[in-house]
Chains A and B, each alone.
Chain A
Amino acid sequence: MGLGQWLEIGRMDELGRLDTPAHRLDARAKVITTIVFIVVVMSFPRYEVSALTPFFLYPFALIALGRIPPGYILRKILLAAPFALVVGMFNPLLDHQVIASVGVWSISGGWLSFASIMLRFVLTVSAALTLIACTGIYRLGAGLERMCMPRVFVVQLLFLYRYLFVIVDEGARMMRSLELRSARPSSLRLRVYGSLVGHLLLRSMARADRVYRAMAARGFDGKIRALHRASFQWTDWAFTGGWTAFFAIARMWNLADALGRILAGGGS
Chain B
Amino acid sequence: MSHHLVEVRDLHFAYPDGTDALKGVSFRITHGESVALVGANGAGKSTLLLHLNGYLTPTRGEIRIGETPLIRETAAAVRRAVGMVFQDPDDQLFMPTVFEDVAFGPLNAGLPPDEIEHRVVSALERVGMAHLRDRPPYKLSAGEKRAVAIATVLAMAPDVLVMDEPSSHLDPRGRRRLIELLKSFKHTKIIATHDLELVVELCSRVIVLDDGRVVAEGQAVELLNDETLMLAHGLERPHSLRHLHPH
Contacts and interface: CB of A to CB of B under 8 A. Distances in A.
Interface of A: 10, 13-14, 16-17, 136-138, 162, 165, 169, 207, 210-211, 213-221, 223, 225, 227-228
Contacts of B156: 218-219
A217 B100 CA distance: 16
Nearest to B93: A214
A27 B100 CA distance: 17
Contacts, number: 72
Main secondary structure of the interface of A (DSSP, over half): helix
Interface string B61-88: 0000000000000001001100110101
B136 A14 contact: yes
A82 to B, nearest CB: 28
B152 A218 contact: yes
Contacts of B160: none
B105 A16 contact: no
Contact of A214 (B76, B94, B100, B138): B94
Interface of B: 50, 53, 55, 76, 79-80, 83-84, 86, 88, 90-92, 94-97, 100, 103-105, 107-110, 113, 116, 134, 136, 138-139, 152-153, 156
For the complex of A and B, list the 4 residue pairs with the smallest distance between their C-beta atoms, beginning with the closest. A219-B108, A218-B105, A13-B96, A210-B91
B100 A220 contact: no
A12 to B, nearest CB: 9
A219 B80 contact: yes
28 contacts: A13-B136, A14-B96, A14-B136, A17-B96, A17-B134, A136-B96, A137-B96, A207-B91, A210-B88, A211-B91, A211-B94, A213-B55, A213-B91, A214-B91, A214-B92, A217-B53, A217-B55, A217-B83, A218-B79, A218-B156, A219-B79, A219-B105, A219-B109, A220-B108, A225-B108, A227-B100, A227-B103, A228-B113
Contacts of A218: 79, 104-105, 108, 152-153, 156
Nearest to A226: B107
Given A218-B152, A219-B79, A227-B103, 10 more contacts: A13-B96, A13-B136, A17-B97, A17-B134, A137-B96, A207-B91, A214-B84, A217-B55, A218-B104, A219-B105
Contacts of A169: 90
Contacts of B76: 219, 221
B50 A213 contact: yes
A214 B89 CA distance: 10
B113 A216 contact: no
